[in-house]
Amino acid sequence: MEELSIEEKDAVARAIRRKTSWIEITFSYAVYILPSLLFATYAYWKKDYIAFLVAYSALFIVCVWYLIYSFSVGNHLYSALKKYEEATNALKSKDKT
């Protein structure tokens, strides 16, 4: 069986230890999103549209970063599962002729 890379092992570990509690999920994303939202709300309230644009840009960057990160982890997990399937042939049914 082909050895998994460090990135693939990390992706598998993350998938296995998935956060299931809504509190864990909320707080893990709130750390990134809440400061930008609060800053944008304050800027909008003070009619400081440049600050509002900065806060929106920061939030947009966090979202793009998360999408890129998710895509990368997904590719590593796919690669690890593909290696597993090649080694075990778990998806090939012995009942088919």
45-80 pLDDT, tens digit each: 999 989 888 888 888 898 888 888 888 888 888 888
Alpha-carbon gap, residue 57 to 49, rounded angstroms: 12
In the predicted model, what is the mean pLDDT of the chain? 80
Q: Would the pLDDT of 42 be above 80?
A: yes
Of 82, 95, 76, residue with least CA distance to 11: 76
pTM over 0.85: no
Alpha-carbon gap, residue 11 to 28, rounded angstroms: 18
